[in-house]
Every structure is written in structure tokens, then in C-alpha cells.
């Protein structure tokens, strides 16, 4: 393999930084170009999710590049969903019956900085900040950037270009606007947007401040309210990052009509009274922090002329309700790397074939997680508060605890079982969900049955559904 090839990676977010590190480890000459200033030197604007749920598929990508252990030092384990009802009662719904299965809260800037540091240690990586890609010459693998320092335009050429410039990708736009090949693109927005708030850590001098955390640390907190929802993930400094998911309009409470501090307090006091006590500057934060849109982007092909490939959100942005966007983007790097390995014995890599093989393998999986993420939006805001859903989760947790080799819930298949693809996880998980809900609804799972009998019944029903599909 000719490893002196020049690789240009556009976008030094989570996916681009990991890809740069991995491609450098494989010996390529890597140039990584980022629109924003270096986040290790300049604090970035608020409004992008501050912390994220990192799970097995993401860890697989980090492991490949040798940074899993370093990333884990930034993690807070979250063992389950802590559900908060309207009067402040809480209960913990574990993510799995297997003790070693949990997700992790990790700081986005912390993880991004780690990946940039590691990439920068490689002698064959050059990182350029403050350069926004404006256009890509797809056939010639060259890209034009606006330099925010000098205000000049610069062009960088390479053997191949990777577009990892996120959901609003400029690289993808060049593909969309090219008339030289057929490019399909869809973007679907939810009627909800999101806004971040913060539950600060206890000040050190407060009496109940031993842990620093104002609510239980090791959970992903959810306040499900049917149409709207609040979630909170812990940070290492004792604070929680809270995200409100709310309709833009046409609802009793929506972003359109929460226009005064009184309205914001009225809404929070009614829906989330226990949170009001925990956010001292509620209305100030509410009006300072931006509203972010939530959308799904699907497109195809991801590759142009064997010269340019999209990865991460640029190829497949998804809504955040499965906590899988970053995980899928890191898994992209791992899947790509596995295919690259096969081509490594060739004297010159046939990038066109490699890119096509990657997309053929990967697209169905990113489409699956995009659809699952929308499903989970409804599950989180509505179903987690429903009795039948809670009975289903209890049963699944018992199956996983008692028969850890035999049963994986849909959540566990997607989140923890990285050895199977998202599309397989979706197929099996949906069939299981349908099976259990049908059996519970029809009263076919009874208290007299042993757990093993219940499991066998669920398995049989699931196989029937899979067979019919």
C-alpha cells in the first residue's frame, strides 16, 4: 500500500478527529481542517450538547485508536433511567439486567480535546483551525476554504477527502450541487426543538454537599411528560446538563409562547417542580441559551468519484434520542478501518471500490439507527411513564439478569451488543417489543408462570413475528 498518500479530513469534531488519528496510525499523511477556533484554546459558544452518552459502539472506535482508557477517565457511568413524575417521585429503570452494561456521560469538548491531542501527537498529522470549507472539487479532490484569520481563500488538494463536517456538511452540499452524478438527499425535522440548561453543583459550603450532585449521580434523568420532556446527564464537576425537548408551536407550552420569566416558571412549576429548586437561574438561562433544531439527514451515495467520502453526521445525522449519533460516527471509523485493512495489501488502494464497499455495508445500519432514534423519542417522552411499558422493562431486566446469554432487549441490542449491526438489532428488537407488549396486553404472561416459561413464550412469539415479517 502506498502510505504516502495525502488524506484531507474536513471537520475536526468527534468523528473527524478520531478518523485523523486512526488514518495517521495507519501511516497516511493527514491534514485535518476545522472551521472553528481550536477548542483547547478558545471556549466555544454554548448551545451544542455539552455532554453525551457514550456506549459500546463508540468505545469500539476509541479502542481501535488506543484511546478508550483515556476516554473512560472522562466518563460517569449511568446505570439506568431515573424517571421523575410530576410530584417529584422517582424510580430507577436499569438499562440492562446485566451488571456490566451501562452507558457513560462524557463531556463533548473533553472528548474532542482528547482526540485532538492524540491526533496532534502524530508526526504525520497537520491540524488547521479557523478554516471553513466552502466548496469541494469532487473529481480532483481539492477543497476551497475561507481563512477566518486572513479572510483569504485557500485551496488544499489531496489524494482523497473525507467529509466529517457534521449535520450541515459543506462537503455534502458540494455533492448535492454537482450535476455529474445522481445524489439523493432528505432532511426531516421534528416539530420539537431543544434547549440546554444547567443544574449546578452544590456549593462546597452547603450541608448536603458531600457528593456535589443535587440529584442521583449515576443515571440519565428523565422527566417524561407526553408531548415534552426534560433529561439530565451528570458532569464530572457535580453539575448536570439538562436538555428540554419542547414543541416549537401549537401546544399549551411551546417555545413560541414561553416568552416571559413568569411563563417559564409557570411551566416548570407545573411540569417539573423538583427541577425548579435545582436550577437557581432558570429563566435567565432559558432566555440566554439558544434553541436547537432536531433533524434526520439521509443521503446517498456517500462517495463521489472515489475521491470524496462522507462519514459521521455529514452522512447520517440523527435525532439524539437513542444517544447514538456520536457512537454511530465512531463505529463508522471502525467499520471503515476494517474494510481499509482488506485493501491494505494492494500496492495502490482502489478508493472507489473501498468507498462503495463501505457504503454497501454501512448504509442500512445508519438508516436503521436513524429510524430507531425517532422511535425512541416517543418511547422516552410518553412510554417511559406508561404502566405497560414499565412492566415490559421489568420483565426484560429480569430476563437479562437471570438468563444473560439468552435475552437482550432492543435497547441492549442497540446500545451494548456491538457485535451485531444496527439493522439486525432493529429487526430483532422491534419483534421482541411487539411480542412482549402483545403477550402482556392479552394477559398471556401470568404471575403463575416461572421466569423461564415467560422467556420461552416471548421467544416463541418473537420468532413468529420475525417469520411473518
Minimum CB distance to ligand FAD, residue 85 (Å): 23
What is the signed CA dihedral for 127, 132, 137, 139, rounded to 10 degrees?
A: 40
Q: In terms of Cα–Cα distance, which of 251, 354, 361 is closest to 307?
A: 354
Q: In terms of Cα–Cα distance, which of 244, 196, 238 is closest to 214?
A: 238
The secondary structure of the chain in percent helix, strand, coil, rounded to multiples of 5, reads 40, 25, 35
Binding site for ligand FAD (CB under 6 A): 10-16, 33-36, 49, 52-53, 132-133, 164-166, 170, 194, 243, 292, 312-314, 320, 323-327, 329
Is residue 155 within 8 A of residue 62, CB to CB? The reply is no
Q: In whole angstroms, what is the distance from residue 213 CA to residue 202 CA?
A: 6
Q: Which is nearer to ligand FAD, 14 or 254 (CB)?
A: 14
Q: In whole angstroms, what is the distance from residue 126 CA to residue 119 CA?
A: 9
Q: In whole angstroms, what is the distance from residue 267 CA to residue 257 CA?
A: 11
Minimum CB distance to ligand FAD, residue 148 (Å): 10
Q: Which is nearer to ligand FAD, 370 or 458 (CB)?
A: 370
Q: In terms of Cα–Cα distance, which of 195, 196, 197 is closest to 256?
A: 195
Minimum CB distance to ligand FAD, residue 123 (Å): 23
Q: Which is nearer to ligand FAD, 110 or 323 (CB)?
A: 323
CA 194 remoteness from chain centre? 15
Q: Exposed/middle/buried for 166, CB within 10 Å: 0-12, 13-18, 19+?
A: buried
Task: For residue 27, report the phi and psi dihedrals to the nearest 5 degrees.
Answer: 100, 0
Minimum CB distance to ligand FAD, residue 335 (Å): 14
Provide the β-strand partners of residue 193: 246, 293
Minimum CB distance to ligand FAD, residue 434 (Å): 26
Minimum CB distance to ligand FAD, residue 63 (Å): 16
CA 243 remoteness from chain centre? 14
Minimum CB distance to ligand FAD, residue 163 (Å): 9
Q: Which is nearer to ligand FAD, 134 or 357 (CB)?
A: 134
DSSP state of 458: H
Residue nearest to ligand FAD as judged by C-beta position: 13
Minimum CB distance to ligand FAD, residue 295 (Å): 9
Q: Which is nearer to ligand FAD, 27 or 37 (CB)?
A: 37
Minimum CB distance to ligand FAD, residue 338 (Å): 19
Q: Does an H or E element contain 161, and which? A: strand 160-163
| Number of helices followed by number of strands (H, E) in the chain | 15, 19
Q: Is the peptide bond before 301 cis (omega within 30 degrees of 0)?
A: yes
Q: In terms of Cα–Cα distance, which of 321, 311, 381, 291 is closest to 162?
A: 311
CA 276 remoteness from chain centre? 27
Tell me if residue 460 falls in helix, strand or coil. Answer: helix
Q: Residue ranges of the alpha helices (H) in 294-409?
A: 313-316, 325-343, 351-381, 387-402
Q: Which is nearer to ligand FAD, 311 or 435 (CB)?
A: 311
Q: Which is nearer to ligand FAD, 243 or 462 (CB)?
A: 243
**Sign, CA torsion 301/424/103/114:** negative
Minimum CB distance to ligand FAD, residue 317 (Å): 7
Q: In whole angstroms, what is the distance from residue 419 CA to residue 374 CA?
A: 23
Tell me if residue 103 falls in helix, strand or coil. Answer: strand
77 CB-near residues (< 8 Å, 6+ apart): 102, 103, 104, 218
Minimum CB distance to ligand FAD, residue 145 (Å): 7
Q: In terms of Cα–Cα distance, which of 216, 221, 213, 219 is closest to 239?
A: 213
Q: Which is nearer to ligand FAD, 172 or 454 (CB)?
A: 172
Minimum CB distance to ligand FAD, residue 8 (Å): 11
Amino acid at each position: 500500500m502506498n502510505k504516502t498518500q495525502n488524506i484531507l479530513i474536513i471537520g475536526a469534531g468527534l468523528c473527524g478527529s478520531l478518523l485523523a488519528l486512526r488514518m495517521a496510525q495507519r501511516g497516511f499523511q493527514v491534514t485535518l481542517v476545522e472551521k472553528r477556533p481550536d477548542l483547547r484554546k478558545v471556549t466555544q459558544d454554548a448551545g451544542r450538547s455539552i455532554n453525551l452518552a457514550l456506549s459500546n459502539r463508540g468505545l469500539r472506535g476509541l479502542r481501535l485508536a488506543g484511546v478508550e482508557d483515556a476516554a473512560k477517565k472522562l466518563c460517569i457511568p449511568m446505570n439506568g433511567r431515573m424517571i421523575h413524575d410530576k410530584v417529584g417521585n422517582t424510580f430507577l429503570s436499569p438499562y440492562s439486567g446485566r451488571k456490566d452494561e451501562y452507558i457513560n456521560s462524557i463531556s463533548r469538548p473533553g472528548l474532542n480535546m482528547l482526540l485532538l491531542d492524540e491526533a496532534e501527537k502524530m508526526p504525520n498529522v497537520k491540524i488547521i483551525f479557523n478554516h471553513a470549507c466552502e466548496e469541494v472539487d469532487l473529481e480532483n479532490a481539492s477543497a476551497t476554504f475561507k481563512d477566518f484569520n486572513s479572510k483569504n481563500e485557500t485551496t488544499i488538494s489531496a489524494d482523497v477527502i473525507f467529509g466529517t463536517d457534521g449535520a450541515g456538511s459543506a462537503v455534502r452540499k458540494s455533492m448535492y450541487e454537482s450535476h455529474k452524478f445522481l445524489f439523493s438527499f432528505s432532511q426531516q425535522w421534528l416539530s420539537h426543538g431543544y434547549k440546554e440548561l444547567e443544574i449546578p453543583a452544590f456549593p462546597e459550603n452547603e450541608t448536603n454537599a458531600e457528593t456535589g450532585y443535587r440529584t442521583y449521580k449515576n443515571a440519565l434523568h428523565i422527566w417524561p411528560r407526553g408531548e415534552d420532556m426534560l433529561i439530565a446527564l451528570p458532569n464530572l464537576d457535580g453539575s448536570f446538563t439538562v436538555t428540554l425537548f419542547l414543541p416549537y408551536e401549537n401546544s399549551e407550552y411551546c417555545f413560541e409562547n414561553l416568552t416571559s420569566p413568569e411563563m417559564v416558571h409557570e411551566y416548570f412549576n407545573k411540569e417539573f417542580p423538583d427541577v425548579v429548586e435545582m436550577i437557581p437561574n432558570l429563566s435567565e438561562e432559558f432566555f440566554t441559551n439558544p434553541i436547537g433544531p432536531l433533524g434526520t439527514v439521509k443521503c446517498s451515495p456517500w462517495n463521489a468519484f472515489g475521491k470524496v467520502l462522507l462519514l459521521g453526521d455529514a452522512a447520517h445525522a440523527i435525532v439524539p434520542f437513542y444517544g447514538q449519533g456520536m457512537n454511530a460516527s465512531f463505529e463508522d471509523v471502525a467499520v471503515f478501518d476494517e474494510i481499509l485493512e482488506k485493501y491494505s495489501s494492494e500496492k495502490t488502494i482502489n478508493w472507489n471500490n473501498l468507498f462503495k464497499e463501505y457504503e454497501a455495508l454501512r448504509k442500512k445500519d445508519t438508516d436503521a439507527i436513524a429510524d430507531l432514534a425517532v422511535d425512541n423519542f416517543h418511547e422516552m417522552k410518553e412510554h417511559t411513564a406508561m404502566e405497560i411499558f414499565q412492566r415490559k422493562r421489568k420483565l426484560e431486566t429480569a430476563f437479562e439478569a437471570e438468563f444473560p446469554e439468552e435475552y437482550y432487549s432492543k435497547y441492549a441490542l442497540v446500545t451494548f451488543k456491538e457485535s451485531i449491526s444496527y439493522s439486525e438489532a432493529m429487526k430483532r428488537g422491534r419483534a421482541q417489543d411487539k411480542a412482549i407488549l402483545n403477550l402482556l396486553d392479552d394477559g398471556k404472561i401470568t404471575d403463575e408462570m416461572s421466569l423461564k416459561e415467560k422467556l420461552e413464550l416471548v421467544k416463541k412469539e418473537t420468532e413468529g413475528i420475525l417469520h411473518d415479517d
